[in-house]
Amino acid sequence: MRIRNSPSRRKFLGGAIGAACTALLSGCDALSKTQWFPKILDTAEHLNRTAQGLITSRKSMAQEFTEADLSPEFRSNGTDYPDAPEYRAHAEAEFANWALRVDGLVNRPSDFSLAQLRAMRSRTQITRHDCVEGWSAIGKWTGVPLSEVLAAVQPHPQARYVVFYCADTMDDGARYYESVDLDDAYHPQTILAYGLNGKPLPIANGAPLRVRIERQLGYKMAKYIMRIELVDTFRTIADGGGGYWEDRGYEWYAGI
């Protein structure tokens, strides 16, 4: 089930824009002002608009809403209560003994308790969640910006992706996991959320911690996060796809 991103678009973006953007870290906006770059885009006319959108929007903010826009209920999708005994023990103790492990390509591999995460700078945002299964919901999320956690662990310069490992196992026995690049990881609206609609994050929505990556589709927003790893490639992930659903054919870059 591929949506929005056709394989050809992915290849095109990966080649032309990916290379250009990494080469010119000064900012991709400048690229659209050069003479040669729009010509590259013209070579794939129907891809032009999506490509332009991607160029100008990687750093832009997702739309934020007001309290009046909140969905009456923020439904749950996928796992609503992980089976893993370790997770269940944490849930029964109201996550008092739970800690987020952050390691990989970092100077200071660390464990963060929920209390420590709550004591860090927090951000609250009302955003719309879009699931590829055809539903959307608006919720108010509170959490610690992922950038704060990354600053604490000091990523190595070669770190390029952030991988989220979850507590739940899907029907086929594989663990849920997800990954994003550092642009999304450092985006101001990317938070590790422990609150939903002014209350502690419910188990059905990923307690004790789930990520919000507001400019991506719902499946990127890993729930029940146990560990975050910084990596330079996906070499370290068994199936190499960068996410549970990606390993089964979904696009890795699910920007909207």
Ligand X SMILES: Nc1nc2c(c(=O)[nH]1)N[C@H]1C(S)=C(S)[C@@H](COP(=O)(O)O)O[C@H]1N2
Residues that bind ligand X (CB under 6 A): 75-79, 131, 166, 168, 176, 205-206, 218-219, 221-224
Q: Measured from the CB atom, is 155 or 246 closer to ligand X? A: 246
As a whole number of angstroms, the distance between CA 77 and CA 176 comes to: 13
176 binds, among ligand X, Mo ion, none (CB under 5 to 8 A by kind): ligand X
- Name the one range near Mo ion by CB under 5 A: 41-49, 68-76, 109-117, 211-219: 211-219
Kindly list the distances between the CA atom of residue 137 and the CA atoms of 29, 65, 73, 141, 227, in Å, as whole numbers in the listed order.
31, 11, 8, 12, 26
Residue listed under structure tokens 């290849």 = 11
Q: Measured from the CB atom, is 120 or 131 closer to ligand X? A: 131
| Shortest distance in whole angstroms from residue 43 CB to ligand X | 34
Q: Contacting Mo ion (CB under 5 A), which of 143, 145, 218, 243?
A: 218
Coil vs helix vs strand at 256: coil
Q: Measured from the CB atom, is 41 or 191 closer to ligand X? A: 191
Query: 82 exposed, middle or buried (CB, 10 Å; 0-12, 13-18, 19+)?
Result: buried
Q: Among candidates 252, 228, 224, 254, which has minimal Cα distance to 240?
A: 252
| Shortest distance in whole angstroms from residue 247 CB to Mo ion | 15
- Interface contacts to Mo ion, rule CB under 5 A: 131, 218-219
